[in-house]
Structure 1
Amino acid sequence: MHIEPAGACALQVLLDEPPSAALSARLAALAQQLRQWPGIVAVVPAWDSLLLHYDVMQADYHQLVERLCPLLSQLAALEPQGAAEHDTAREHCIAVCYDHRLAPDLPWLADSCGLSEAELIAKHHSARYRVGAIGFAPGFAYLAGLDPQLAQPRRATPRTQVPAGSVAVAEQQCAIYPQASPGGWHLIGRTAQPLFDPSAQPPSPWQVGDRVRFVAIDYATYLAQGGAP
């Protein structure tokens, strides 16, 4: 475990434990507790780290570190299987259309993985995923649980514009682009479900530790749900 400054008004906790669903759940619970501390502006848990932003007029770095250390010692002592047995994480069901018009990388990825397109699609939506981190863009959730056979390096040349709702994979992860943005992941489908609304509370449906599953739909159903062609 290591704690270090992250700018003038933030600190980062780096853990030695490898990323896992159990660790994500424990970090999410710790983040919820830390949000109640005076002077804390935001807490951002990730795969194996936690970023804590604080108001320098109300909190002091060294005092925060002193308070954090006992909590982190307790976090490391927790048994991962206990969290799994009492899993109360929310589950999100995302409808995905894998049509070629929305999945430009599907043929290439299937060929690279030694699979037919139908086999790749089945492997993708039959897996069960966990939100391990949220970042890159507002509402962009990094999902663990991708079938190892679908793991491929990111694109050598990122796209300058990826449509909102694009379902993508890269390395050992899956993600959905909540807004149109640049991106270097492989696009294998798209959802019509909105995943970030700045006027809503909360603006994003995701929380670290949430479970996610995908359901395949056809192109007509995708359009009927409000998806963009």
Structure 2
Amino acid sequence: MRVLPCGSDAVLIEVDTADQVQRLHGALRTAPPTGVTELVPAARTVLVRYDPRSTDPQRLRTALAALPLTAAAADEPADTVHIPVRYDGPDLAEVARRTGLTERQVIERHTAAHYRVAFCGFSPGFAYLTGLDPVLRLPRRAEPRTRVPAGAVAVADEYTGIYPSPSPGGWHLLGSTGLTLWDATADPPTRLRPGTAVRFVEQTGEADRDPR
């Protein structure tokens, strides 16, 4: 763990793995040190903002060293967000071919995993979910698409994610969901915040239409 100063009211904590980010972010959310005002996790870092009137970088370093960085529970939390998916994406066949699986096996492996939102970025509401089956981990597409539709469920590298709005994208598209993942008028505007547990559920009909 490396703690670096970041401006006058924040420190940037660097770690080596996504799992360490999740453990650190979870521990800080559960027992935030005195003076901490905001946490922003990313792929290998956590930005910790603080009130300079209440603490300083040295006191934060001491508090961070004492944090218990336990793993997330393996059991499915009661507040897990379930995402219904129609597995009809344009890259499903290619993902099956490149992983040596059948399309059915790709779907089964994608729905069997327990995911957690590691961080958000790229566009408002885009959540990077960890927990992807190692067999499904593929590099991004050599040629990104100029437009990916909202609701597209995709995989790339160690992550799976859902495009909350139409945008360019280079991930492999497995399917789509009808749920609204970003609504600027809602409070909160996104269902998928860092630390949220997520499961994907296969849907074959219209049952996944979002009531909102």
Shared fold, TM over 0.5: yes
Residue in 1 aligned with 2:18?
19
1:67 shift after superposition:
2.5
Cα distance change of structure 1 residues 88 and 129 upon mapping to structure 2, 3 Å threshold: closer
Matched, 1:116 2:102: yes
Cα distance change of structure 1 residues 139 and 65 upon mapping to structure 2, 3 Å threshold: same
2:87 aligned partner, one-letter code: Y
2:4 aligned partner, one-letter code: E
What secondary structure, in the 3-state scheme, does the structure 1 residue paired with 2:94 have? helix
Q: Distance in 1 between matches of 2:178 and 2:194?
A: 22
Matched, 1:80 2:78: no
- What is the count of residue pairs matched by the alignment? 210
1:9 shift after superposition:
6.0
2:52 to 53, 59, 71: 59
Cα distance change of structure 1 residues 71 and 47 upon mapping to structure 2, 3 Å threshold: farther
1:44 to 30, 40, 50: 40
1:71 to 42, 63, 85: 63
2:52 aligned partner, one-letter code: A
Q: Distance in 2 between matches of 1:146 and 1:85?
A: 14
Residue in 2 aligned with 1:184?
170
Matched, 1:125 2:117: no
1:10 shift after superposition:
4.4
1:7 shift after superposition:
5.6
Conserved? CA contact 2:76–2:114, under 8 Å = no
Cα distance change of structure 1 residues 109 and 85 upon mapping to structure 2, 3 Å threshold: closer
Conserved? CA contact 1:3–1:11, under 8 Å = yes
2:191 aligned partner, one-letter code: P
Cα distance change of structure 1 residues 113 and 44 upon mapping to structure 2, 3 Å threshold: same
Conserved? CA contact 1:167–1:176, under 8 Å = yes
Q: Distance in 1 between matches of 2:202 and 2:76?
A: 26
Cα root mean square deviation, aligned: 2.9
Residue in 1 aligned with 2:197?
211
Conserved? CA contact 1:24–1:46, under 8 Å = no
Cα distance change of structure 1 residues 13 and 26 upon mapping to structure 2, 3 Å threshold: closer
1:30 aligned partner, one-letter code: L
Conserved? CA contact 1:19–1:47, under 8 Å = yes
Q: Distance in 1 between matches of 2:185 and 2:26?
A: 24
1:225 to 188, 200, 209: 209
In terms of mean alpha carbon deviation, does 150-159 or 186-195 score higher? 150-159
Q: Distance in 2 between matches of 1:120 and 1:68?
A: 44
What secondary structure, in the 3-state scheme, does the structure 1 residue paired with 2:56 have? helix
Residue in 1 aligned with 2:3?
3
Q: Distance in 2 between matches of 1:69 and 1:87?
A: 32
Q: Distance in 2 between matches of 1:208 and 1:105?
A: 27
1:119 shift after superposition:
1.4
TM-score by length of 1: 0.78
Cα distance change of structure 1 residues 221 and 87 upon mapping to structure 2, 3 Å threshold: closer
Judging by fraction of residues, say which structure has more helix: 1
1:98 to 63, 87, 107: 87
Q: Distance in 2 between matches of 1:186 and 1:7?
A: 37
Conserved? CA contact 1:105–1:187, under 8 Å = yes
1:84 aligned partner, one-letter code: A
1:179 shift after superposition:
1.5
Conserved? CA contact 1:155–1:184, under 8 Å = yes
1:113 shift after superposition:
0.9
